[in-house]
Amino acid sequence: MNDLEIIYDLLIVGAGPAGLTAALYASRGGLSVLLVEKAYPGGQLWLSDSIENYPGFAKGVQSNLLASEMEAQARHFGAEFLTAEATAIKKNNSVIELETDGGSLKGRSLIIASGARQRQQGAEGERELTGKGVSYCAVCDGPLFRDKRVAVIGGGNTACEEAVFLTAFASEVFLIHRRDRLRAVKALRERVKSESKIKLMLDKRVSKIKGTEKVEQIVFDDSSSLDVEGVFIFVGLDPNTDFAKGFTPDEKGFIITNPDMATEVAGVFAAGDCRYGSLRQVVTACSEGAIAAENARHYIEKMKGTAYDR
């Protein structure tokens, strides 16, 4: 792709719930919008089977359906989509330049909604056995472990949700947490306890994942071991913000904003899992995307001299 001379009102990096909602609100509000996504619209929605706590769906909603409908809604109101990976951000006077692996894009404002990825646990052998039994996505890889013993490492909501999901395939699911109690919400803790296939292992730290061509065993820091064929790791998130260095990140790379989702750089906003302080839920990502879009629109209108006082 050659450098594009067109200047969009709003560039959005990331097509997860935050980015898709921002695209919806901004395009519906009359802005020209280009949403840049390196993979496919939906973000981490594609990493889960269903969502039980999204308002309006008493029995939950299929994650892939929600992702597809969000994309279709944004497109309906005129948002454009580009498959590319953001690599750097520069601001040149009132124009923001977004560098991608396919060329340079220009916008009057920018929303960083690039999300986050599952963090590595750091056990010996984890990196070498990733894709050979070590996974960070139960929905993607769970069916590969039908009638097999698997371990889930983590104690938060995601770990518990994925452990429950894996009971549909695995013969046994060992939920391993380094503390003496799970951090998940009460409903998920009770769900875990009600599943006969889930074996809870607290106060245990995995120090090594062993196997030759595939996972065979995990070893704990007390030298005890457990034979499993799959290890699913859910120990937190790292933000996808390497391209946004210098845009007020915290020490872990999350983007710092004010309540309007604005960064310290005029015209640059952030929303969703990449933002410091985000609750990291689909419903709050959507809320943050809407707030960021509305404030980006107000910023653009002030720039054009068409803004009304709020």
Residue 223 lies in a domain: yes
Average pLDDT taken over every residue of the chain:
94
Does residue 224 sit in the same domain as residue 126? yes
Residue 309 lies in a domain: no
Bridge-partner residues for 150, per DSSP? 173, 230
- pTM of the predicted structure, to 2 decimals: 0.83
- Taking residues 203-219, report their average pLDDT: 97
Residue 310 lies in a domain: no
Map tokens 């803790």 to a residue.
Answer: 189
> Given pLDDT bands bounded at 50, 70 and 90, which one contains residue 50?
confident
Number of H helices and E strands in the chain, helices first, is 7, 19
Residue 90 lies in a domain: yes
CB 146 within 8 A of CB 170: yes
Q: What is the CATH number of the domain that holds 102?
A: 3.50.50.60
What does residue 271 show for φ and ψ, rounded to 5 degrees? -155, 150
Residue 228: pLDDT over 90: yes
Q: Which of 3, 9, 49, 137 is catalytic?
A: 137
Whether 140 sits among the annotated catalytic residues: the reply is yes
- Give residue 3's pLDDT: 47
Does residue 178 sit in the same domain as residue 126? yes
Does residue 241 sit in the same domain as residue 99? yes
Q: Which of 3, 9, 49, 140 is catalytic?
A: 140
Domain end among 174, 198, 233 = 233
CA distances from 21 to 119, 163, 262, 286 (A): 25, 29, 16, 6
List helix spans (H) across the chain.
Answer: 17-28, 63-76, 126-129, 138-141, 157-166, 186-194, 282-304
Does residue 150 sit in the same domain as residue 281? no
Question: Which tokens in the block code for residue 24?
Answer: 């919806």
- Give residue 241's pLDDT: 95
Residue 294 lies in a domain: yes
C-alpha 83/C-alpha 124 separation (Å) is 35
- Taking residues 192-202, report their average pLDDT: 98
Residue 141 lies in a domain: yes
- Give residue 306's pLDDT: 75
Does residue 55 sit in the same domain as residue 195? no
- Give residue 307's pLDDT: 60
C-alpha 92/C-alpha 209 separation (Å) is 48
Does residue 149 sit in the same domain as residue 222? yes
- Give residue 2's pLDDT: 44
Does residue 124 sit in the same domain as residue 227? yes
Residue 1 lies in a domain: no
Dihedral angle, C-alpha 117, 20, 158, 211, nearest 10 °: -40
C-alpha 107/C-alpha 80 separation (Å) is 13
Does residue 49 sit in the same domain as residue 24? yes
Residue 308: pLDDT over 90: no
Does residue 12 sit in the same domain as residue 71? yes
Domain end among 216, 233, 250 = 233
Domain that holds residue 155: 120-233
Does residue 97 sit in the same domain as residue 139? no
- Give residue 239's pLDDT: 95
Domain end among 173, 200, 233 = 233
Residue 116: pLDDT over 70: yes
Whether 49 sits among the annotated catalytic residues: the reply is no
Pairing of strands 230-233, 134-135: parallel
C-alpha 309/C-alpha 290 separation (Å) is 19
Does residue 110 sit in the same domain as residue 179? no
Domain count of the fold of the chain: 2
Whether 141 sits among the annotated catalytic residues: the reply is yes
Residue 4: pLDDT over 60: no
CA distances from 264 to 3, 229, 247, 310 (A): 27, 47, 7, 21
